[in-house]
Structure 1
Amino acid sequence: MNFAPGIPYILFQFLFLGLCSCLETISITQPIRDGDGGGSILVSSGEIFALGFFSPGKSNYRYVGIWYHKITEKSVVWVANRDNPINDTSGFLSIDTQGNLVLFDNNDQKVPVWSTNSSSLPTNEYAVAQLLDSGNLVLFQNESKHLLWQSFDYPTDTQLPNMKLGLDRRTGLNWFLTSWKSEDDPRIGNYTLRIDPAGSPQMFLYRGQVPLFRLGHWNGMRLSGFLVFTSDPVYYDSFVNNDKEISIMWNMYNISILSRIVVDESGLVQRYVWYQQENGWQQFLSEPSEPCDEYGHCGAFGLCDPNNTTFFECACLPGFEPKSPSEWNFRDGTHGCVRKPGSLICSKVINGLSLEACEKECLRSCNCTAYASANISEGGSGCLAWHGDLVNTRIFTPGGQDFYLRVDELELAQYTKKSKGSVATKGIRMIMVALGVIIFIIISFIAYWFAKMKRKGHRQLPLNANNTSGASPREEKLEESRTHPDLPFFDIRTLITATDDFSAKNMLGQGGFGSVYKGQLVNGQEIAVKRLSKHSGQGMHEFMNEVTVIAKLQHRNLVRLLGCCIHEEEKMLIYEYLPNKSLDYFIFDVTKRAHLDWSKRFDIVNGIARGILYLHQDSRLKIIHRDLKASNVLLDASMNPKISDFGMARMFGEDQIQANTDRVVGTYGYMSPEYAMQGLYSTKSDVFSFGVLLVEIISGRKNTESVNGSQFPNLIGHVWELWNDGRVLDIVDPALCQPFSTDKVSRCIHIGLLCVQEAATERPDISDVIFMLANETTLPPPNTPAFTFLYADSSKSSGSVSCNRVSITTLEAR
């Protein structure tokens, strides 16, 4: 027997489950109470979900929420009083005389903290609340089983199977997800996932009221705005659009598998699946994940192709050209494209065209810009037409659908081929297209010849825009590098203006690879210009490598590269400006590190770990950084960490585990022993560096400096000595004042020691590190860590080795 999801399905559950005496319920005589011992909880019949009082993260406030009952990691899926917490453990949840589910603070029982505000009950009825195995908390009349209220109608940040997102046209209920304020604060946050019912309904992720990511229209099989395969083996979606409601919901093919969709506090829509054998949530999907996911990234009539390697991911649709060519050249496509002069789309439709019904419908109206048609025989919804500006057009491989744009006949040869006009007309059109191509080639050749003659007859700009100097012998080689698909180039004049001709007052820091200057572009954007020294160890290879690698990476915990500049013998990188300098500026300074409490240090550790996880696992590339250290972690205005300096990074193949080099690069004190001694590097090399960094953050000491009274020559040895003696608190930075959790600090030191094991195979993956940081699972005992990494084999050390005392990324705000 099949039942449609929604209220009828819930009533069906009541008929068979609601009368079972073994089910726990909330009634007027049986409330749920908080308490110092954890209080009472309400558990669903299958023991899948529980409802009760909880405090999120480091918060002391109390909330009523629903979470997975048998999962040790408390994963909260719904919060009742998210904007009205209770200050202590005196709260209780009950049914009042009107049949409402009401939350009271026992210190003040006059005004409820939260209430369902449902309709009043008949005099001969009373209300009962029950938690279903679907995670839905329902309030119903005990005798008639009439539904009064359900938590699925008021989602917070999580969508569960069979939970609707959309709009009830009859009641006005709007089902949408809103992120938490932070992981410790369930208040309404900045990000919302909801359906926009205007026109053809589509799903958007908003930051405030601004669209951030478009999940797209329903095309009959799926939402069209993000990458999915046509046939998904894990879950399936269903969509309703009628006079009663607009809604989308999903379910698992295997209902025994636990899964949830969360809009997290950082603005990501993430799907998690619980893997019992690994005892943890595994991320199945995370969006937005690349530049093309950003709403309006390429502007109106722009096409975003994440696999485009010719210039950058944005291109104009046929018949269009960049609206702002100068911004386009700087890889900024937000201004979009405009129709080329003389390009006509509203010409008379030629009689006799044999087109599908959707195409005919679009061609009837000159206001129709484009159309797409899903295959109805495969479950598609048929014709979908667009009018006006096209925004957020992108290429998917696989998972997209055919899209037809209205263009001028001469702009697209394929469109001309559809015409059933005379052979003579076809021939004329083809000749015109051919002549146009020939003329374009001739003009391009002449322009190239003049440009080449100009380069030979003129001298290139020096670092003073008002003077000239002789061209470098390497000029042609550098000019060729400007065609690299991942290099957004800045003109030298722009950087001279932005930095006041690289004046000393704008210098932020100086190191072995050169200097860093603060600058401001004409649009007001602040930048940091890393000007590499002509005599630095970072040559053209490292420079091109850093740009190539970081230009492909997009993550909140990685520094953002804005562009680069090559001028004669000079090489410059342009980064986002981060006002709080680098991590070493804080943790190795007695006064400044006092401003980093335990909460902030732990957040920095987590942020660094997430950045490494992205490099190792979640990015399109598999990146080994090879030079992770405190000076290569920058801090933004909110003290969020961002990994920088990718000059020594290496890309791995998807199945590659380890590589070998005769050119050891990095920083002694952070190098893993197998890398320093044998030139072997892998993801475990970065894990080793992270372990060193973790211990440094906790202790406030540099690993390369010996500790008075210790028998070991470095910090790791000293920490191991104290750990074995049970003197864990002696490891902690004296500037780190209470309150902090001794258990959590001890656990972090334990994790750090696991990361610096002598054998790479004994170190955890960075994904395991993140799991261990977030959960109270049992940790394996560490073995004696590696101490020999301070002494590198000179036969392997012919490469670039940076000194930890001086860093190019020591930025100073002004």
Structure 2
Amino acid sequence: MNLRLSHKTLPLQHLVSWKGQQDPSPGEFSYGADPSNLLRCFAWNGSRPHRRSPVWTSHLYMGGFNESAIYMALHHAGDEVYMSFGMPAGSFVQLVRLEIDYSGKVNILSWQSNMSAWRALYAEPQHECNTYGYCGPYGYCDNTQIVPVCKCLDGFEPRDAKGWISGSFSQGCRPKEVPRCTHGDSFLAFPGMKVPDKFLRVPSRSFDECTEECRSNCSCVAYAYSKMSNIDIDGDDTRCLLWIGDFIDMENNHQGGENLYVRTKRLQGNMRKIKTIEIVLPVVSSFLILICVGLLWICGFRGNQGSKLVWERLMRRDTGNYNQFADGNTEFPILNFREIATATNNFSESNILGKGGFGNVYKGTLEDGKEIAVKRLRVGSVQGAVEFKNEIALISRLHHRNLVKLIGCSIHEDEKLLIYEYLPNRSLDYFIFNDRRKSLLNWPTRFKIIAGVARGLLYLHQDSRLMMIHRDLKASNILLDAVMIPKISDFGTARIFGVNQHEEHTNRVVGTFGYMSPEYAMEGIISIKSDVYSFGVLVLEIVSGMKTGATTPTSSRACTHNLIDYAWSLMKDGKVMDLIESSIVEGCSLVEALRCIHIGLLSVQDDPEARPLMSWVVASLDNEDTELPQPKEPMCSAHRNYGAGESHVHDMSLVNLKGR
């Protein structure tokens, strides 16, 4: 399908979003070209830009998928200019479609014939940092980081330094020096950029002519150039862009960007002397400060060095069971033990948030007022040392809004501490399994938690630098922040897989019965489908408010003592709505709730191959048009007789956060 961008007589075409997830009436968001400039496309929120495409070169690169690239192309045919999208010839993806959803995301999806469902290939904006103008004037979104962040161009600094640190970027950046236009000015190239908005196109220029056009104009602060050999919209296949004034809406991308040439100064004479002084003075000052710090360290702060030596010994120690992919090269902040002890009132009983097999979790408050959660390993726990080492080596490499953030660790003699961000709403089980508190989680909040956990697992399985299996996903390991955003926690038993590794056999089965997949509990076979099974159990618990393994209402089937079997029996009898927690039925979206139950039953199928991937789960939660296959009836497996709170008797290092 083509999307018309311009025509002499016919109107432009736009994609228009739904008003809501279940409301197909026209929504606030739309997608299409800017009528005043065909070189870019926008996702609009009403009349305001929400997301801007890169400026056309010969095509738009959208993103990579399984070694193939998704492109948009611009075409001119008669009186019409239109764009198309797709993947290169020979790609295994045969059918794709483009949409804008009710939240303003532009999605490209592919048809999965084996599952009879649409699967998301690409979506934008992918992060808040990617929305229009998020980083302010002269700021850009750096997408080369694991989590995109706002940065200033070289030669610029934040206009509001305090606001920048606190995450407010709207005021953007400013030049460090007042620019003075001279003929000696040169241009610094910034590669891989989505060039800014608000540009001026100068027709019929070569690259050198475009450079000179900007250099000779003191108002010109930057330029970009492209030869659009396969596009001829107006008889001119050159694309010389100039910027007169502030930059807005820039990004640095892994791929698909272009060179942005920004005016800079060529320093001569006295300016060089000034610059030399500016360089030498900070170096000398820094050297003196280092000497003072060194003296202080020698006098009284050797504790941290001792911690580092302990850390190095811990990381070199041969534990036998330690994950081979998590080596000892992990760099991680080591915090002062006395500071953490002070923050927790010397690990007071009144500060305990939860207790587990290998230690307690304490609430703490640092001197600057920042609240933390401290996991204190029980002294003398050999097994706990393995989990401690594993958790640091793994989670220190992970960054996602649905994973708990590990701030640092502390090692002092036999004491080992893990310091996390503090999440005020504790854990999911604190709410859903408590008769007084369960009504506080209405259906929209529960659905948000399900979707957030799914995205966190997708990141672990597919989108992080490491392919990771969590191995102990359960309600007590889902923590909730101030606005009920879920965070997956406790990576002490997680396992990293190699690039081409699909499953692994282990003699060390760790986790929680009731959440373990049959092949893992009985045969020690680990794969990403082990986590999918745990996710399915968790979904059924969130919807029903029942613990897996707890007593369930009787029905015609003999094995309804288990939540999975009970949910299946209700679906089989056409009474699946009875599974929904009674306290949330009012105001509940039945379509969403029934869909979650269906996805939960698909995820807990006995055959790992029959369980969906988390990418499909996320797409199915986001898109109600995705057709769901029928799940197969589960067996009444003996391992399901165990309660959800019963841990494996040999290998557990899990901390269950409970309310005081």
> Which one of 126, 141, 156 corresponds to residue 289 of structure 1?
126
Residue by residue over 1:134-181, the C-alpha shift from the partner in whole angstroms, topping out at 9 and shown as x without a partner, is xxxxxxxxxxxxxxxxxxxxxxxxxxx223358x8999x775444333
- The CA deviation at 1:359 is 0.7
- The CA deviation at 1:646 is 4.7
> Which one of 468, 473, 492 corresponds to residue 306 of structure 2?
473
> Which one of 555, 558, 562 corresponds to residue 715 of structure 1?
562
Pair 1:350–1:637, CA change in 2 (3 A): closer
- The CA deviation at 1:356 is 0.7
> Which one of 101, 107, 127 corresponds to residue 264 of structure 1?
101
Q: Hey, what's the Cα distance between the residues in 2 that align with 1:202 and 1:508?
A: 55
Say which SS state the counterpart of residue 285 (structure 1) adopts. strand
Partner amino acid, structure 2, of 1:788: H
Pair 1:384–1:643, CA change in 2 (3 A): same
- The CA deviation at 1:501 is 8.1
Query: Which residue of the partner structure matches residue 604 of structure 2?
Result: 756
Asked if 1:390 is matched to 2:241, the reply is: no
Residue by residue over 1:77-113, the C-alpha shift from the partner in whole angstroms, topping out at 9 and shown as x without a partner, is xxxxxxxxxxxxxxxxxxxxxxxxxxxxxxxxxxxxx
Query: Which residue of the partner structure matches residue 323 of structure 2?
Result: none
Q: Hey, what's the Cα distance between the residues in 2 that align with 1:752 and 1:550?
A: 26
- The CA deviation at 1:293 is 2.6
Q: Is the 8 A contact 1:698 1:731 kept in 2?
A: no
Asked if 1:319 is matched to 2:155, the reply is: yes
Query: Which residue of the partner structure matches residue 531 of structure 1?
Result: 374
Q: Hey, what's the Cα distance between the residues in 1 that align with 2:473 and 2:116?
A: 30
Residue by residue over 1:301-335, the C-alpha shift from the partner in whole angstroms, topping out at 9 and shown as x without a partner, is 345443358x9855543323455566666787666
1:659-670 map, 5 Å: 659=504, 664-670=509-515
Asked if 1:457 is matched to 2:308, the reply is: no
- The CA deviation at 1:528 is 6.2
Partner amino acid, structure 2, of 1:339: P
Q: Hey, what's the Cα distance between the residues in 2 that align with 1:301 and 1:665?
A: 50
Partner amino acid, structure 1, of 2:41: M
Q: Hey, what's the Cα distance between the residues in 1 that align with 2:420 and 2:140?
A: 28
1:634-783 map, 5 Å: 634=479, 643-646=488-491, 648-659=493-504, 664-676=509-521, 679-705=524-550, 715-716=562-563, 719=566, 732=579, 735=582, 752-767=600-615, 774=624, 777-783=628-634
Pair 1:192–1:730, CA change in 2 (3 A): closer
- The CA deviation at 1:780 is 4.8
1:339-354 map, 5 Å: 339-341=175-177, 344=179, 346-349=181-184
Partner amino acid, structure 2, of 1:544: I
Q: Hey, what's the Cα distance between the residues in 2 that align with 1:744 and 1:332?
A: 35
Query: Which residue of the partner structure matches residue 90 of structure 1?
Result: none
Pair 1:769–1:300, CA change in 2 (3 A): closer
Say which SS state the counterpart of residue 348 (structure 1) adopts. coil
Say which SS state the counterpart of residue 409 (structure 1) adopts. coil
Pair 1:451–1:193, CA change in 2 (3 A): farther
Q: Is the 8 A contact 2:427 2:657 kept in 1?
A: no
* Structure possessing the higher radius of gyration over alpha carbons: 1
Asked if 1:626 is matched to 2:471, the reply is: yes
- The CA deviation at 1:669 is 2.6
Pair 1:664–1:493, CA change in 2 (3 A): same
Query: Which residue of the partner structure matches residue 420 of structure 2?
Result: 573
Pair 1:653–1:302, CA change in 2 (3 A): farther
- The CA deviation at 1:283 is 2.0
More contact order relative to length (CA 8 Å, sep ≥ 6): 2
Pair 1:521–1:589, CA change in 2 (3 A): same
> Which one of 207, 218, 223 corresponds to residue 366 of structure 1?
218
Query: Which residue of the partner structure matches residue 635 of structure 2?
Result: 784
Pair 1:635–1:240, CA change in 2 (3 A): farther
Residue by residue over 1:523-568, the C-alpha shift from the partner in whole angstroms, topping out at 9 and shown as x without a partner, is xxx98632222539586535534643442x25xxx2574x725566
| Percent of residue pairs bearing the same amino acid type | 31
Partner amino acid, structure 2, of 1:533: R
Asked if 1:162 is matched to 2:14, the reply is: no
Partner amino acid, structure 2, of 1:287: E
> Which one of 231, 238, 246 corresponds to residue 74 of structure 2?
238
Q: Hey, what's the Cα distance between the residues in 2 that align with 1:294 and 1:743?
A: 30
Q: Is the 8 A contact 1:664 1:801 kept in 2?
A: no
Partner amino acid, structure 2, of 1:218: W
Say which SS state the counterpart of residue 500 (structure 2) adopts. coil
Asked if 1:807 is matched to 2:657, the reply is: yes
Query: Which residue of the partner structure matches residue 250 of structure 1?
Result: 84
Query: Which residue of the partner structure matches residue 67 of structure 1?
Result: none
Q: Is the 8 A contact 2:564 2:601 kept in 1?
A: no
In the comparison of the two structures, how many residue pairs are matched?
A: 599
Q: Hey, what's the Cα distance between the residues in 2 that align with 1:489 and 1:205?
A: 44
Q: Is the 8 A contact 1:369 1:386 kept in 2?
A: yes
Q: Hey, what's the Cα distance between the residues in 1 that align with 2:525 and 2:481?
A: 33
1:124-163 map, 5 Å: 161-163=1-3
Pair 1:439–1:596, CA change in 2 (3 A): closer
Partner amino acid, structure 1, of 2:657: S
Query: Which residue of the partner structure matches residue 14 of structure 1?
Result: none
Q: Hey, what's the Cα distance between the residues in 2 that align with 1:505 and 1:446?
A: 44
Q: Is the 8 A contact 2:552 2:566 kept in 1?
A: no
Pair 1:582–1:797, CA change in 2 (3 A): closer
Partner amino acid, structure 2, of 1:670: Y
Q: Is the 8 A contact 1:720 1:784 kept in 2?
A: no
Query: Which residue of the partner structure matches residue 218 of structure 1?
Result: 56
Farther-moved stretch of structure 1 (193-202 vs 610-619):
193-202
Give the aligned CA root-mean-square deviation in angstroms: 5.8
Pair 1:435–1:596, CA change in 2 (3 A): closer
- The CA deviation at 1:227 is 4.4
Query: Which residue of the partner structure matches residue 407 of structure 1?
Result: 264
- The CA deviation at 1:361 is 0.6
Pair 1:642–1:565, CA change in 2 (3 A): closer
- The CA deviation at 1:658 is 2.1
Q: Is the 8 A contact 2:98 2:107 kept in 1?
A: yes
Say which SS state the counterpart of residue 406 (structure 1) adopts. strand
Query: Which residue of the partner structure matches residue 585 of structure 1?
Result: 430
Residue by residue over 1:730-774, the C-alpha shift from the partner in whole angstroms, topping out at 9 and shown as x without a partner, is 973673687899999888666545533455345343455567875
Q: Hey, what's the Cα distance between the residues in 1 that align with 2:436 and 2:614?
A: 31
Say which SS state the counterpart of residue 24 (structure 2) adopts. strand
Q: Is the 8 A contact 2:304 2:336 kept in 1?
A: no
TM-score by length of 2: 0.69
Give unmatched runs, 5+ long, in structure 2. 187-205, 232-236, 316-328
Query: Which residue of the partner structure matches residue 24 of structure 2?
Result: 186
Give unmatched runs, 5+ long, in structure 1. 1-160, 411-415, 417-424, 461-469
Partner amino acid, structure 1, of 2:119: Q
Query: Which residue of the partner structure matches residue 389 of structure 2?
Result: 541
Pair 1:517–1:333, CA change in 2 (3 A): farther
Query: Which residue of the partner structure matches residue 191 of structure 2?
Result: none
Residue by residue over 1:766-803, the C-alpha shift from the partner in whole angstroms, topping out at 9 and shown as x without a partner, is 455567875565525324154326499x9997654326
- The CA deviation at 1:384 is 0.9
> Which one of 202, 205, 227 corresponds to residue 375 of structure 1?
227
